[in-house]
Amino acid sequence: MCRTPLLLLLLLVACTSAAVEPQRPRLTLAWVSKSLGNPVFDHGRDGAIQRARELSASGAYEIELVAAAPASADAVEQTRVLDDLIARRVDGIAVSCNDPIACAEPIDRAVAAGIPVMTWDSDAPESGRFTFLSIDNTAAGREAARLLADAIGGAGKVAIITGVPGGLNLEQRVAGFRAVIADYPAITVVAEVATDEDISKGVRGVEEVMQAHPDLRGWFFAGMWPLIADRGAMPQWEAATRAGQLKTVCFDTLPFQLELLREGYLTALIGQKYWGWGYDSIQILYDTIVHGRAVPTFIDTGIDIVTDKNVEAMIRAWETNDFQRPLPPP
């Protein structure tokens, strides 16, 4: 059981290390996500691999990338993964923390061992990490509110879907959303439903709010949970949307969400820079270690706003795995 992460690690090292060229100094960078098998993290890993390859090709160092993760999103397993990396004496670590508190200790152990550590997507603010790369969740929530308010003409009832009550990034999204909605006297937030990140609880929550407020004009989904269910699971939401009465703004830009947007079920999507989680993290580690460049303690990745005006470009980005080209304006 204890050895599984190490085994996975070795497996991944074998898969991802670049060809050996002994004449150049080697830099080993580790990129650690919350869990294996999440398509969003796979995507970030691809970005990390690409930047490592580019830097190897152009720079003075041979970059070896170690992409590692616990099998499931578990804080204890992730601690073991990090300790294994410290034992291997890697040169730098970029990690997305399963738990801000549990993550802090191994990060501090790494820093004490002379390994610079940065966090991405999910932070450990109490630790000695030198920077945090993420979207600004509050700002993203504000943007969602503006998009929804525009779509419904600045008036009517709206409701919010969120995940596990207390989750920091979700709370920030909702707070940002509510702050902007408060500026519209004709818009009222009539419900906020917690889904526990569970699909069927999300579906039931959406339908129950539709039942309680048949005149609902807008939804803000702080996460995509209810949408993972296929057509037919939320008949009232679908009917109101098709009638043009209801608009929905949702977080994330996964392919199935883009499809729903293209079919007119969603008004706008707020996307995170999944690819950049890897690509930019490796760049930041490289700059810090090689050039000693100082970076601010928070780096805003910015957000992707996808509407029917640029959805085709985003679909193409997923198809070609090329997320470096900027999106056309929404």
The least CB distance from residue 236 to other proteins, in Å, is: 6
89 touches other proteins (CB under 8 A):
no
3-state secondary structure of 2: coil
Residue carrying structure tokens 């109101």: 240
Q: Which stretch binds other proteins (CB under 8 A): 12-20, 135-143, 230-238, 280-288?
A: 230-238
Decide whether 113 or 182 has the Cβ nearer to other proteins. 182
Number of C-beta neighbours around residue 284 at 10 A: 22
Q: Which of 109, 146, 178, 204 binds other proteins (CB under 8 A)?
A: 204
Among 82, 180, 233, 258, binds other proteins (CB under 8 A): 233
Q: Measured from the CB of residue 233, what is the shortest distance to other proteins in angstroms?
A: 5
Which lies closer to other proteins via its Cβ, residue 59 or residue 235?
235
Q: Any alpha helices (H) in 59-156, and if so which ranges?
A: 75-87, 100-112, 137-151
Contact present, 270 and 305 (Cβ < 8 Å):
yes
Smallest separation, CB 288 to other proteins (Å): 32
Nearest to 31 by CA among 317, 275, 267: 275
- Closer residue to other proteins, CB minimum distance, 72 or 321: 72
List beta partners, residue 159: 191, 219
Neighbour-count burial for 102-119, b at 16+ CB within 10 Å, e otherwise: ebbebbbbbbeeebbbbb
Regarding 245 and contact with other proteins (CB under 8 A), the answer is no
Piece in contact with other proteins (CB under 8 A), picked from 62-70, 96-104, 117-125, 206-214? 206-214
| DSSP H or E segment with residue 168 | helix 168-181
Please identify, among the stretches 53-61, 125-133, 190-198, 272-280, the one whose residues bind other proteins according to the rule CB under 8 A.
Answer: 190-198
Please report how close the Cβ of residue 54 comes to other proteins at its closest, in angstroms.
27
- Phi and psi at 134, nearest 5°, equal -165, 170
The answer to whether the CB of 301 falls within 8 A of the CB of 133 is yes
Single out the residue of 75, 111, 139, 228 in contact with other proteins (rule: CB under 8 A).
228
Q: Which residues bind other proteins (CB under 8 A)?
A: 35-39, 72, 162, 165, 190-194, 197-200, 203-205, 207-209, 211-212, 214, 228-233, 235-236, 256
